A and B are shown apart, each in its own frame.
Chain A
């Protein structure tokens, strides 16, 4: 348990992506089976064990310590599992004088073999045998409470790096494998054959595009390309095989459970690439909801009847990868597209349609279409080579995205936070605000990129010279109508938010220009942002 606990701690405190990859790979290299496989499953949230409820944990601790002392401790720490892990009395427990702390594999396998009712009793015994980091890992494991900020993609990249294989191979295999992944590790170690994917409806690695540069158009002949709208939903893959229907994100995370309305409608044998949207057929075709409508359905494990009714999930198809027994990926795009149209014609029109093709002869004509999209939920155009096969990853010269211009606002720097790693000595993470009432700035977002190294030095200097308060690594910066630093902030979209004081949340905000010339009093007002939301809805 201790190596797993160490891994969790280090992952939690390590900000850099590369360092996280290194930690995971180090763990896979040094920890034997089945321990490393269970660690992988626990981190990837792929572990199915009977959960222990917070109320049951409270009962365990209240049998061991004074309720008032526990109350003071919980108030201070703020996290139930962490408080219990730290405060669990060690005096007179089995741990004293014995060296038989349970390993991760023992914990997982015992839990899997026992009933839900036995959970608390087992946990109590293990708490007595573990040290504080081990107790913390155990409690997070049994409450399912990992919030590590690790994406499925990152974990698969760690595996790929460890085994020196392509990440697409891992993605393809992933859903056919089960904890503790002995076969997978044997292959990655070089001591076994590549596992055969036994799962029905596997994920197929997706094809991605490059952002187009202004200079690219001269080199590309419009006759070689098709174009369609780029919809502002999330890119997904709908697939079905042997009666198993699945919906995957573009990184291969299985999100079927959150979209039963759509998944039930996957009445075909094959695999489609498309955009997940909230939409329903109306009077003049399909009425497509905004990204914030879609957000009502995202990041949920389960879904209520009301959500299903108010925000129905819809699949706008871009491509077809598999039709029955035929793998269509090597075929040219236009051939796949023709197949796609006839395929989708046979599906439920309340759940599926085809992304429309745009009619253009020159890049200027396409530019005119892009400048005036028919729906606010369109975020640009996609340009695809007519002859392109469907290739996993981001191949060069095949597909391009040409996004609409970002939204821009002028906002005032309010707080700056010290960065990590190479930016440790610099204030590089910025919170910026806009005016609400005269004289009142309200924070609307955070950005930590978009500026050059040279500009970072200038902002850092400004922050140090204009600090009014310090809280740990954060500095509050002078910001008033006459004194302050204005950023031009670019962002891709804006939604209402109940989590933020300002009531708005931006997507992908970044600093696009420093406006040293602009008096902060002339920065944007919150109403401007609210109007942008109204425009998008």
Chain B
């Protein structure tokens, strides 16, 4: 009898569950055994009995939640087969943030790839996404609308640097999520030849240190504290912090700040305006519409399951290509990574 994919992975309230392996992928609440694709808080939670993830993801969870975030942890090497009961799982790079992985789950010749969040385009701060042949491909749909076509990130950084040189009296406050986006934006700024100090909000410090320890050079980073401010108090400086900090008292130390935000959501003008963003930078760690389509074409799965985001548009696209597809209703995933 050919195994049915629904017997291998099935959505439950806690997350995606594998009955024959008795584990969850990215469970949103504490479970006995969890496989975690990457360190963003909506995928990686504290309080599991046992966590299997890449070494980097485990390090990031320890930084965020403390070393005792799980009963036990087990690092998964990329491309290495791991046996869990009579299921084989393999982690493959997802290109989303440092340590991010897709998880291939295989049993009796049926392979499902849960890709987590992913982006196919190169990113200097993490391993590049690899398409993995499979029977069922589970894809995210964060930016699954034809209007989302992320421009070249380097070009967006040029827009930032032009704005900095045009506004020498203002501090540029660039909103970045603390894991992944922050380090990627910093690395891209360095790649553009900007070698002055960059100032960071305290919430970014530990993860930037961790990226450095993993060999990703971020240059001269300084805390954005009042004491560290140069003469003129941050005029002309680039400051990075979580966007939530910009409404806080923290933001008052900057002279006439210019609010920027690096996110795929900045593609849509109304979203940028709602957030009071003056310089929207369209930089995303997710696949855009064209990349979702290209990835599905490259993976060439028998069936596509679509989760978190705009499922209906991607399901529609699959139908038009003659690819079987259905939405997979998982709850609890937000857009922390973008």
Contact = CB atoms under 8 A, between A and B. Distances in A.
A binds B: yes
Nearest to A426: B252
B22 interface: no
A137 to B, nearest CB: 12
A403 B36 CA distance: 68
Contact of A132 (B149, B173, B251, B258): B149
Nearest to A70: B146
Contacts of A424: 173, 246, 251-252, 254, 257, 259
A22 B251 CA distance: 24
Nearest to B250: A425
A425 B149 contact: no
Nearest to A66: B320
Contacts of A72: 145, 310, 312-313, 316
B206 to A, nearest CB: 24
Interface residues of B, number: 42
What size tier do the contact residues of chain A reach?
Answer: 35 or more
A65 interface: yes
Interface in A123-142: 131-132
A78 interface: yes
Contacts of A86: 146-149, 267-268
Contacts, number: 98
Contact of B278 (A14, A65, A79, A91): A14
B247 A26 contact: no
Contacts of B290: 91
Contacts of B269: 12, 79, 82
B1 interface: no
A121 interface: no
A412 B279 CA distance: 33
Nearest to B294: A91
B276 to A, nearest CB: 5
Contacts of A13: 272-273, 277-280
A418 B257 CA distance: 13
B196 interface: no
Interface string B134-154: 000000000001111101000
A132 B151 contact: yes
B149 A90 contact: yes
A420 interface: yes
A421 interface: yes
A417 B148 CA distance: 28
Given A72-B310, A79-B270, A15 B316 contact: no
A422 B256 contact: yes
Interface in B239-263: 246-252, 254-259
Contacts of B149: 86, 90, 132
B193 to A, nearest CB: 21
A418 B276 contact: yes
Given A69-B317, A426-B252, A473 B147 contact: no
Given A13-B278, A26-B166, A69-B316, A76 B145 contact: yes
Nearest to A85: B147
Given A79-B269, A424-B173, A424-B259, A65 B146 contact: yes
A425 B251 contact: yes
A87 interface: yes
B272 A82 contact: no
B247 A473 contact: yes
Contacts of B274: 472-473
Given A86-B267, A421-B256, A473-B247, A73 B278 contact: no
A69 B146 contact: yes
Contacts of B317: 69
B275 interface: yes
A68 B146 CA distance: 11
Interface in A444-497: 472-473
Interface string B16-45: 000000000000000000000000000000
A424 B272 CA distance: 15
Contacts of A131: 151
A77 B273 CA distance: 13
Contacts of A78: 270
B305 to A, nearest CB: 19
A350 B187 CA distance: 72
Nearest to B146: A87
Contacts of A77: 147, 268, 270
Nearest to B251: A425
Contacts of B251: 424-425
Nearest to B246: A424
A473 B272 CA distance: 11
A83 interface: yes
8 contacts: A15-B278, A72-B312, A77-B270, A83-B147, A86-B146, A86-B147, A420-B276, A425-B257
Given A73-B147, A77-B270, A425-B247, 8 more contacts: A19-B167, A68-B316, A69-B145, A420-B276, A421-B257, A422-B256, A424-B259, A472-B276
Interface of B: 145-149, 151, 166-167, 173, 246-252, 254-259, 267-270, 272-280, 290, 310, 312-313, 316-317, 320
